[in-house]
């Protein structure tokens, strides 16, 4: 039986790096390069002509850069885009803006074949391209006004009036998450509780994500360290190579980093965070599942709901990828399903 071969369009202005990327992709079973673009204008033209399954997008190119190319492709012919970025601050900022414009994921540019981490970077690139090629990109701008999906605003009877005020807000996200988080956090001017977040992303990009999100909100955004006392008005992001959990530490809450992957497919795993919050805080918590592929977070959000916490899922229409919220909704874990733009208001009302 013939397996489907994923067709990749590579955009990269450096001939040396382009040749390197194409070689890595072509030697990976199940992937093949069908076109190479030297700049943003060329990748826009080839995307429309070749209709690849996924695009490997350089972010810094002459003329039209990767950010603008992503914007135009997501308007003209939406398709999965993976940003392949260098790690300098300027590139990382552009990469996150491309994610906000519709790209699904970001990975670091592969190192030289002689580098000790080459094999790991090669696997990361190949896995990300293959995974994102299977994502159905939702064309939100084509939806008629007022039609936000069948799940939008679906309500489950609210918790009892005697429910305790939340001590913490826990959020999980994957593909499309950085853009969703920027919108959500921008709508939270102040909060009397801490926010803890797991975002699936390579570890080397997490400091850049923290800096980028910190610009979008008056809240302080930082990478969680093991044993941090969780402070109100502060957002704690899990590092990319450890699970983030919440523990009770006397009268306060503290972060705990777990470096063993365990049974979880992802590290960090949203389920680990949510399950720890359910155990530490019970009903005094809020859980939110945002856009992402797969099912991570669904079981953990259900554990939170069973503990009495308030739980939310992002609706289909505002998601880049509806996998994680859909799984949570199907399990009955989400008390309420809301468009992204309505989530900040809902969280502010609960946290007062």
> One digit per residue, pLDDT tens: the chain, 352 residues?
457 899 999 999 999 999 999 999 999 999 999 999 999 999 999 999 999 999 999 999 999 999 999 999 999 999 999 999 887 778 888 899 999 999 999 999 888 888 898 888 899 999 999 999 988 875 544 443 333 334 444 444 455 456 789 999 999 999 999 999 999 999 999 899 999 999 999 999 999 999 999 999 999 999 999 999 999 999 999 999 999 999 998 889 999 999 999 999 999 999 999 999 999 999 999 999 999 999 999 999 999 999 999 999 999 999 999 999 999 999 999 999 999 999 999 999 998 7
Do 126 and 239 lie in a common domain? no
Same domain, 74 and 184: no
Q: Are 92 and 59 in contact (CB under 8 A)?
A: no
200 and 343 together in one domain? yes
Instruction: With CA atoms as reference, report the closest residue to 266 among 281, 244, 236, 285.
Output: 244
Active site residue 174: yes
pLDDT of residue 92: 86
- Are residues 90 and 203 located together in one domain of the fold? no
How confident is the model at residue 161, as a pLDDT? 54
What are residue 233's DSSP bridge partners?
Answer: none
CATH of residue 60: 3.40.50.2300
Give the model's pLDDT for residue 297: 98
> Could you tell me if 201 and 121 lie in one domain?
no
Judge whether 223 lies within some domain.
yes
Domain presence at residue 76: yes
For residue 2, what pLDDT is reported? 55
Q: What is the pTM of this model?
A: 0.90
| Residue 334's CATH number | 3.40.50.180
**Is 200 an active-site residue?**
yes
Whether 151 is in a domain gets the answer no
Strands, sheet with 81-85, edge to edge from the N-terminal-most edge strand? 31-37, 6-11, 54-58, 81-85, 105-108
CA dihedral 65, 322, 210, 283 (to 10 degrees): 170
Q: What pLDDT is attached to residue 137? A: 77
Closest CA to 28 of 111, 146, 127: 127
In terms of residue numbers, what domain contains 64?
6-137
Of 88, 119, 137, the residue at which a domain comes to its end is 137
Query: Would you say residue 164 lies in a domain?
Result: no
> 137, 161, 182: which is the final residue of a domain?
137
- Is 324 a member of any domain? yes
- The answer on 84 and 187 residing in a single domain is no
Same domain for 332 and 228, yes or no, is yes
Are residues 218 and 102 part of one domain? no
What pLDDT score does 131 carry? 93
Domain count for the chain: 2
User: CB–CB of 177/213 below 8 Å?
Assistant: no
pLDDT score, position 88: 73
* Within-domain flag for 128: yes
Active site residue 296: yes
Q: Which of 91, 200, 255, 315 is catalytic?
A: 200
3-state secondary structure the chain: CCCCCEEEEEECCCHHHHHHHHHHHHCCCCEEEEEEECCHHHHHHHHHHHCCCEEEEECCCCCCCHHHHHHHHHHHCCCCEEEEECCCHHHHHHHHHHHHHCCCEEEECCCCCCCCCHHHHHHHHHHHHHHHHCCCCCCHHHCCCCCCCCCCCCECCCCCCCCCCCCCEEEEECCCHHHHHHHHHHCCCCCCCCEEEEECCCHHHHHHHHHHHHCCCCCEEEECCCCCECCCCEEEECCCCCEEEEEEECCEEEEEEECCCCCCCCCCCHHHHHHHHHHHHCCCCEEEECCCCCCCCHHHHHHHHHCCCEEEEECCCCCCCCHHHHHHHHCCCCCEEECHHHHHHHHHHHHC
Say yes or no: 115 and 183 in one domain: no
CA distance linking residue 293 with residue 309, whole number of Å: 24
173 and 215 both lie in a single domain: yes
Residues 47 and 190 in one domain: no
Which residue out of 13, 58, 91, 296 is catalytically annotated? 296
**Are 197 and 275 within one domain?**
yes
């Amino acid at each position: 039986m013939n397996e489907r071969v994923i067709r990749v369009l590579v955009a990269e202005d450096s001939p040396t790096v382009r040749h390197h990327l194409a070689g890595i992709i072509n030697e990976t079973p199940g992937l093949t390069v069908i076109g190479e673009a030297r700049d943003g204008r060329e990748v826009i033209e080839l995307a429309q002509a070749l209709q690849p399954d996924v695009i490997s997008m350089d972010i810094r190119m002459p003329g039209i850069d990767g950010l603008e190319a992503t914007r135009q492709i997501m308007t003209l012919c939406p398709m999965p885009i993976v940003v392949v970025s260098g790690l300098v601050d300027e590139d990382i900022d552009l990469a996150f803006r491309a994610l906000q414009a519709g790209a699904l994921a970001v990975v670091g540019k592969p190192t030289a074949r002689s580098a000790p981490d080459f094999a790991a970077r090669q696997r990361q690139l190949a896995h990300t391209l293959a995974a994102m090629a299977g994502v159905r990109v939702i064309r939100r701008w084509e939806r008629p006004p007022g039609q936000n999906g069948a799940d939008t605003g679906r309500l489950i009877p609210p918790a009892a009036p005697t429910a305790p005020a939340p001590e913490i807000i826990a959020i999980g996200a994957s593909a499309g998450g950085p853009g969703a988080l920027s919108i959500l956090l921008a709508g939270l001017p102040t909060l009397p509780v801490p926010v803890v977040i797991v975002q699936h992303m390579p570890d080397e990009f997490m400091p850049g994500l923290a800096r980028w999100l910190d610009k979008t909100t008056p809240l302080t955004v930082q990478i969680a360290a093991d044993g941090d006392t969780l402070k109100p008005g502060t957002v704690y992001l899990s590092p990319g190579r450890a699970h983030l959990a919440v523990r009770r530490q006397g009268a306060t809450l503290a972060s705990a980093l777990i470096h063993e992957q365990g049974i979880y497919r992802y590290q960090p795993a949203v389920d680990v965070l949510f399950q720890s919050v359910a155990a530490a805080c019970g009903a005094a918590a809020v859980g939110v599942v945002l856009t992402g592929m797969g099912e991570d977070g669904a079981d953990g959000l259900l554990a939170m709901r069973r503990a009495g916490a308030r739980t939310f899922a992002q609706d289909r229409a505002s998601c880049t990828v509806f996998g994680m919220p859909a799984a949570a909704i199907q399990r009955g874990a989400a008390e309420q399903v809301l468009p992204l733009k309505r989530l900040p208001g809902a969280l502010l009302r609960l946290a007062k």
